Amino acid sequence: MKYLIEQQLLPITQKELISTSLIIAHESGNAKNSGPLSLENEVAYMKRQAQANGAFTSHWVGGGGRIIQIAQSGKMQYGAGKYANPHAYAQVELARTSNLDWFQKDYQAYIWLLQKLAAEAGIPNTLNSGTTLASKGIKTHHWISSNLGGTTHTDPDAYLSQQNISLEQFSKDLAFTDQTTPIPIPNSSEPHHLYHNVLKGDSLWGIAKKYHTTLTWLKMINNLSSETILIGQRLIISIEQPKAAAPSQIELIKLVQKKLGIKQDGLFGSVTKQALIKLVQKEAGSKTDGLWGPKTASKMRILKSGSTGWDVYAVQVFLLSKKNYLMGNPDNFFGSKTVQAVKKFQTAYDLLSDGIVGPKTYQKLFS
């Protein structure tokens, strides 16, 4: 089985590595985040950390076999301490799940990705060999702590053990070279996507125009470094995730209400709305009365791609309340899904569809 690596690369500058001797296997270590949105929650949190000059890795695996890349491989990442980071071609995190079927799919994708990255780096796909940097290969975070230092984490050992995967089994699975069937997974299927086969005369710009998308999106989703395409090349146009993995609007609203500390009924009523307005008023330095008015509006900042904060979170939840299903899980980060959702909302309310939240969009959304 082959996997799509969803690229959500952050606009951050990564330093050059000293060597590409290691691929590091992590897991989130967050036992409280094991629900259906664990992957999205972890990715959103790490994006915020990265933009605040905190820790980050290159890849995440979870959500029933999804792979998300947030930073470049072959460049410096900050997930395994000062002695390992300059030598790690890639660092891969595994999001936790309480769903056994999802774990099996996650684990298969985890193995596939670690093997793929090791091949890219030109190092063996052996696990935890040797005790120094001279022994190139795939290493657990625990191996780094025990042999190189600079960190004290012991993942992913305990989580894999909880799922009945010993380090011995993990090592065998990584060493297995036929990636089509390393771990038997019942009822597994790849997500369906929209593709375009490049024909003579096609250009990337023309394809973007035909499918009402952008050059940036096509380059990102197909991992293209330029606009050059070849006849016969198969381009991904859009991604469709498995429907079973998508929580309902009611479930998402309940998660919001839990975070706000109010009754979790899954309904976007006045209590939820007022709690969100108070949240943005507190961040904006306005009177926290839960009422949207001119004084609060005058203190709101302009939000656009890359913005983070509770005002972003409130905008995301209000978009969700309008049944804007492009929104997904509110996560405080103004990413591509939020841009699309804002544009959809602006179009519906006869506003300039620029994906930027300014005074007019705030007024239509919050009033």
Give the pLDDT confidence of 269-328 residue by residue, as tens digits. Answer: 999 999 999 989 988 888 999 999 999 999 999 999 988 888 999 999 999 888 765 667
260 and 329 part of one domain: yes
318 and 217 part of one domain: no
158 and 28 part of one domain: yes
CATH (domain of 88)? 3.40.80.10
CA angle (72, 25, 139) in 5-degree steps? 110
23 and 129 part of one domain: yes
Instruction: Return the pLDDT at 239.
Output: 61
Q: pLDDT > 70: what percent of the chain?
A: 91
Nearest in space to 88 (alpha carbons), one of 47, 133, 128: 133
On whether residue 127 sits in a domain, the answer given is: yes
On whether residue 186 sits in a domain, the answer given is: no
Report the Cα 256 to chain-centroid distance in Å.
19
Instruction: Return the pLDDT at 231.
Output: 82
Instruction: Return the pLDDT at 185.
Output: 35
Report the Cα 274 to chain-centroid distance in Å.
29
Q: Residue 10: which domain range? A: 5-175
DSSP label at residue 354: S
Counting the structural domains of the chain, the total is 3
42 and 163 part of one domain: yes
On whether residue 257 sits in a domain, the answer given is: yes
CATH (domain of 333)? 1.10.101.10
46 and 155 part of one domain: yes
The single residue listed with the structure tokens 């930073």 is 71
Burial of 131 (0-12, 13-18, 19+ CB in 10 A): exposed
135 and 227 part of one domain: no
On whether residue 183 sits in a domain, the answer given is: no
On whether residue 356 sits in a domain, the answer given is: yes
CA–CA gap between residue 349 and residue 354 (Å, rounded):
13
162 and 282 part of one domain: no
Sign of the torsion formed by the C-alpha atoms of 202, 204, 210 and 211? positive
On whether residue 26 sits in a domain, the answer given is: yes
CATH (domain of 220)? 3.10.350.10
Instruction: Return the pLDDT at 179.
Output: 39
229 and 323 part of one domain: no
Cβ–Cβ under 8 Å, residues 48 and 332: yes
DSSP label at residue 127: B
Q: Is 197 helix (H, G, I), strand (E, B) or coil?
A: strand
Instruction: Return the pLDDT at 55.
Output: 96
Supply the Cα-derived Rg of the chain in whole angstroms. Answer: 22
235 and 254 part of one domain: no
75 and 211 part of one domain: no
Low-confidence residues of the chain: pLDDT under 70: 1, 177-193, 239-246, 324-327
Cross-strand bridge partners of residue 137 = 22
